[in-house]
Structure 1
Amino acid sequence: MPHDDDGAPRWKHDGVRVIRGDQLDPNTAQTPGMFRQAAINHARVGARKIWAGTVAIEPDAKTGVHHHGALESVIYVVRGRARMRWGERLEFVAEAGPGDFIFVPPYVPHQEINADPEQPLECVLVRSDNEAVVVNITDIEPVEAPETVYWVDPIHAAPKE
């Protein structure tokens, strides 16, 4: 076990940490329509192999198609309704609700969607590494037209009625 200069085991100085829910760090990569906050990462607690935090997705919002490289991700749905689309043409779809876990394997092209047009989707997110790997994929043609869930940003605004 690594030791500090004073000869004490590291855990004596850097043992268990409690990160209070009202002390999460919003200084993370942000996506329009989503709000991420870090709880556990290298900068906050010295974590080397894991990242954990929260994400809130606005009603009717969705991410672009992306993958997280070699990282594994786990999403735990706290509140709301999540819809996940994945595959080479987003040909697969599944939904998850409060208490459900979602596992996203490495390199899987996917899209997270808040399936509720009125309520935010709140989740806990855990990734298998500390690096924030996001590879956006812009050339996927979905196998079927996506839901009427629109991006929440000025570039991908909902069509005017």
Structure 2
Amino acid sequence: MSDHEHEHHGHDHGHDQGGEPRWKYDGVRVIKGDQLDPNTAQTPGMFRQAAINHARVGAQKIWAGTVAIEPDAKTGVHHHGALESVIYVVSGKARMRWGERLEFVAEAGPGDFIFVPPYVPHQEINADPANPLQCVLVRSDNEAVVVNITDVDPVEKPEAVYWVDPIHKDPAG
């Protein structure tokens, strides 16, 4: 196994037994696009894959991965607590609605970045009824935080089947 393929598991991030700094072996990591981890919260209409997280590379303060959203799919209204999120649109057409009544709207296309500040109520929408939306998602923490907001009547109604999983709870209870 060459040095660039060398992996250590279960070691601390200080020094190894030889007294050498851990970064000599566990420094920069490359996660190949065909080796993303689908073992993350999944929801109907959306497929997430983790690239960078604590389990895969020991990341302490960041999560990054991809998300593919089916044509015309929409989330319910939610926010991500104290987390900051960045979405990079690879292909497709994203629509974001936000505000206390989702009164604000913006759209993004390939090459555009979307920043979602902490605690902002929002709704994520694939604005294309025929093509999937492919994005790269980066969050400011490894812990997935989603707070569903059920007392807002969204301008764009979510799918009849809500995205329900450990992150996105069923708004009906």
TM-score after normalising by structure 2: 0.82
User: 2:163 aligned with 1:151, yes or no?
Assistant: no
Change in 2 beyond 3 A, CA 1:52/1:154: closer
- Residue 2 of structure 1 aligns to a residue whose secondary structure is coil
- Which position in structure 1 is the counterpart of 2:29? 17
- Residue 26 of structure 2 aligns to a residue whose secondary structure is coil
Match of 1:60 among 58, 72, 80: 72
Task: Structure 1: state its 5+ residue gaps.
Answer: 156-161
- Give how far 1:6 is off: 2.8
Runs of 4+ in 1 over 6 A off after TM superposition: none
Contact conserved, 1:41 with 1:50, CA < 8 A, in 2? yes
CA distance in 2, matches of 1:15, 1:113: 37
**Superposition map of 1:47-126 within 5 A:** 47-126=59-138
TM-score after normalising by structure 1: 0.88
CA distance in 1, matches of 2:108, 2:129: 15
Contact conserved, 2:75 with 2:158, CA < 8 A, in 1? no
- Which position in structure 2 is the counterpart of 1:34? 46
CA distance in 2, matches of 1:6, 1:68: 42
Task: Structure 2: state its 5+ residue gaps.
Answer: 1-12, 164-173
- Give how far 1:152 is off: 6.2
- Which position in structure 2 is the counterpart of 1:159? none
> Mean Cα displacement is larger for which, 39-48 or 13-22?
13-22
